Structure 1
Amino acid sequence: MERRSRGRGGSRGGAGAGFSGLPGSGRQTDFPLRILVQSDMVGAIIGRQGSTIRQITQQTRARVDVHRKDNVGSLEKAITIYGNPDNCTNACRRILEVMQQEANNTNKGEISLKILAHNNLIGRIIGKGGNTIKRIMQDTDTKITVSSINDINSFNLERIITVKGSIENMSKAEALISAKLRQSYENDLQAMAPQSMMFPGLHPMAMMSTSNMGFTSRGSAGFPGGMYGAGPAPYPSMYQSSVPAAQSGGAQGGDTQETTFLYIPNNAVGAIIGTKGTHIRNIIRFSGASVKIAPLEQDRPQDQQTERKVTIVGSPESQWKAQYLIFEKMREEGFVAGTDDVRLTVEILVPSSQVGRIIGKGGQNVRELQRVTGSIIKLPEQGASPPSQDEETTVHIIGPFFSVQSAQRRIRAMVLQAQPLPAGARGGQRGAPSRREPPQQ
């Protein structure tokens, strides 16, 4: 029997990690331990009919997810271990013992421990002048190396920390490395939490999964430029909330599904799709959203069709990631000059009955939204007759990534406040706002 992660993958078979609270909220953050193992070791780790991994789970009280079917044909597979620090360390040690036994049986010699860590945490593992990693090596009598930064990209944000030594010493080193990673992660999450006020209804993990992956937002949408300056993102989708993946369209279940329309230049379509569809498949896999690009209209001359509509369906977190990756690909492909921000048009649907609320008296609400978010927001003028409750109106939002994200979340929150969820009702209709509470501050 194979234990697999419930989450949708990001990098290296990325798992959906549990998240049980913000630091300081009295609830523990569930930070997973992720390791890489040789593919030919996976069978031994799982055991006959899952007996070995079941025993490890029972003995250590940690949850162990082997991503056996991810990255078919690769030489290494990811394993994600969930639980408190001691339980994770004990489970990792048991896996190392199984691997060493298998290596002995097949004359493969010594094994090593490979820990996966997000690139933004690696600097704190290495330390100034290499001091931290040197101290861990001295304290545990191990040799530790870190993979090259050149190995990361938008879909794989993890670096590999390789530890060599005896099983006992590798286990000690893992405990020290994981403690440092966990503390760094919680510090960053605490620093990010206040910014979530800009994005009501969105979990801070979504912001952290993509922020800094190449953007130079210069403080757009109210963010300090240093937090969102150029550089790698803090955390990949492996740290998002554990939400079972829906079977249809790749969108994550559990959250209300939102529909967003994003417009890209017609000459950018090939870059977004990628060779044989590889890039758009990666966007779908990484974000957990459904992403579809509309074909050219047959009844209009091609030279008159300068933009193509991209329909994105998914949870608020999936929307954030999918839209980010499209903006980022546009920047990478040079569709903007120099250091300018990529500016695209995004459309969301709101109940026509709420248009007046969004515009506000004399347009004061929409002007304030534009001021706070830094985006251009266009709504049609209200008609003389009251609209039907069933009608929807398109809101056009134009601007750089963080600006349009902030505008989307704020507008959806305004609609949600005006339309409380009826008892027993379920979300999921087209363009519906998220019905989750904003993160506790």
Structure 2
Amino acid sequence: MREESGARINISEGNCPERIVTITGPTDTIFKAFAMIAYKFEEDIINSMSNSPATSKPPVTLRLVVPASQCGSLIGKGGSKIKEMRESTGAQVQVAGDMLPNSTERAVTISGTPEAIIQCVKQICVVMLESPPKGATIPYRPKPTSTPVIFSGGQAYTIQGQYAVPHPDLTKLHQLVMQQTPFTPLGQTTPAFPGLEASPPASTHELTIPNDLIGCIIGRQGTKINEIRQMSGAQIKIANAMEGSSERQITITGTPANISLAQYLINARGLHRQL
């Protein structure tokens, strides 16, 4: 992408639920880079739909990070500029009301076909060049999420992206705390000692997921959902699509730890698709 567009493209650190792609250069190189990104996202949507019962293709969605002092120019007097952008490009444009955490920037979400998005980005760049930011901008920096720790089979794991990674230090600490008592892996409810339950009883939790994200959570031939089932130790059932509904019901059964890990992994897949 860097070579073909001629733009500088940087991607922020990967230990956060969101990563920021910064594209720098003359406007024509920026449009080329945005075009390549938009078409790549469309390709991902088409691939994720190959297993999905959804028939209508969801739009490509990008979230831009814009200094708040420039958002007024993007909206225009009485919303005139944003209305003009929507009408002339066919893209949906939304400017967030609040600033992003610990920054003076706001999110501008654009969605539509790749062609509509590229035209919209062109118009946004023109406005940003005509109205430079006023005062100092405190850039938005996504914060790493506090990493959940999962104990299973006497091992401690931390969640990194979509994977549970063994953590030797936490495992040692965990074994010390357990004082070498037999530890029942998650998902087994047989008591290790009479009268003592080694893991909490199974419970059920329901999640609602938009239809346009379900394909990405299921994965090609169910690979992703099976991976989530294996990693979390939870039972996961996805209800069939209801006519006229834009959402699907997911039922997760297991211990509270199984359920919270399954939820985390499902949300991480959905978030990964949306970014």
TM-score, scaled relative to structure 2: 0.45
TM-score, scaled relative to structure 1: 0.29
Higher strand share: 2
